[in-house]
Amino acid sequence: MTSPPASQMTSSPATSSPATTKPEKDQPRPGDKLHAEPYMLPVQPPPLPESPTPQEIAELSEEVRELAKQKNAVILAHNYQVPEIQDVADYTGDSLGLSIEAARTSAERIVFCGVHFMAETAKILSPEKTVLIPDTRAGCSLADGITAQQVRDWKAENPDALVVMYVNTTAEVKAETDYCVTSSNAVAVVNAIPRDREILFGPDMFLGSYVEKITKRPMKVWMGECHVHAGIRPADMQKMLDDHPQADLMIHPECGCSTSAMEYLACGDIDPDRTYILSTGGMIEHVKQSDAPEFIVATEEGIFHPLRKAAPGRTFIPATEDAVCGFMKTITLRGLRDALREDKYHVEVAPQIAERARVPIERMISITD
């Protein structure tokens, strides 16, 4: 994996998460010689909201459903949302599935219970619809790890290269991209590109490293990461396998950036005989069909809700107790109710950006299909 370009070494304000920058005296200046270690924006997710009572959940859910009916709105929820949001949604899935559903819906409004880049993708695919997000703090540390200007600078340094970007990026970054990918189709996309074409891959360094190993193809890889899944280490998972000898280990390959775990599997750092790389739907099907009494799950903890519904008699164990995305958890039933009732927090993408960003997104969907 090659070092990032000089353009990556400078920090910029986060576009959607409340990250901070380095003190002014430490900021790189034009002409400075920058060392090879990239500066990563500190991640500061919002504090987790207080959980509602069962009565509040029932009352707010009823309000939300009635408002959605009145406003001709569809509610889309990511798998990492809190259970009460998943239960009230019309469709729950990963970011790719949610994007496809957003493009298909006949509803006038889309209320996106996920993080901001997902809502942007829905707006790009359905520009004529109203898209709302219930909380503007729902950012993404990985999406904030690269800017459109940084991509332009990187392309200028590598004019013959194709840009392949993980879907966890802003609309502006997608507009500078040749192909969007998910972690499940990244290998297929890279293999489809002629081997004599150089590839700039970002922003997840773990996914990029994994794709390099599987395709046996060197790429220039951006040094970004998901703050949640970067904390899932091979020692955590191997210890869980040792402590639970009858358990299967399930690793989510899409949306949520559990790509660090995929990298460790490719390196042979975790037991391959009991390890399954599965999409959300694949996880649900696997727990229905597997004879294993326990499952170790290496991804964000929101996925446990649909897994428990699919297989209520099984035990699900987090690979780490810290895999909680504070950005995802900003979305609450009260916030969802208020967004519908007050028609607030519209997601907009400039038409010239949306037109260019739509191309790599549609390529991603077509390759997946």
- pLDDT tens per residue across span 1-31: 443 443 343 333 333 333 322 333 333 333 3
Helix axes 259-267, 234-243, angle to 10 degrees: 70
Structure pTM? 0.82
**Would you place residue 261 in the very low, low, confident or very high pLDDT band (cuts 50, 70, 90)?**
low
**Would you place residue 263 in the very low, low, confident or very high pLDDT band (cuts 50, 70, 90)?**
low
Q: CA dist 66 to 86, 89, 133, 323, Å?
A: 16, 12, 18, 33
pLDDT tens digits, one per residue of 269-294: 777 778 887 777 778 889 999 989 99
pLDDT above 70 (res 34): no
Place of tokens 């703050």: 227
Q: What proportion of the chain, given as a percentage, has pLDDT over 90?
A: 56
pLDDT above 90 (res 150): yes
- The DSSP line for 87-131 is HH-SEEE-HHHHHHHHHH---SEEEEES-HHHHHHHHHH-TTSEE
Q: Out of 52-56, 138-142, 155-159, pick the least confident.
A: 138-142
Beta carbons of 363 and 116 less than 8 angstroms apart: no
- What's the pLDDT at 3? 38
Burial 165-188 (b: 16+ CB within 10 A, else e): bbbbbbbbbbbbbbbbbbbbbbbe
What is the mean pLDDT of the segment spanning 44-55? 89
Q: Which domains does the chain have, with CATH numbers?
A: 54-139+328-352 (3.40.50.10800), 141-227+354-368 (3.40.50.10800), 229-318 (3.40.50.10800)
pLDDT tens digits, one per residue of 311-332: 999 999 998 888 899 999 999 9
- What's the pLDDT at 147? 96
**Would you place residue 132 in the very low, low, confident or very high pLDDT band (cuts 50, 70, 90)?**
very high
Peptide bond into 203 cis (omega under 30): yes
User: 263 vs 154, which has greater pLDDT?
Assistant: 154
**Would you place residue 173 in the very low, low, confident or very high pLDDT band (cuts 50, 70, 90)?**
very high
> What's at 343, amino acid-wise?
D
Q: Quick one: which of 226, 228, 233 has its CA closest to 202?
A: 226
- What's the pLDDT at 17? 33
pLDDT tens digits, one per residue of 194-241: 999 999 999 988 788 878 888 999 999 999 888 776 777 777 777 888
Place of tokens 């219930």: 134
> What's at 61, amino acid-wise?
S
Mean pLDDT rounded to a whole number for the chain: 83
What is the mean pLDDT of the segment spanning 334-338? 98
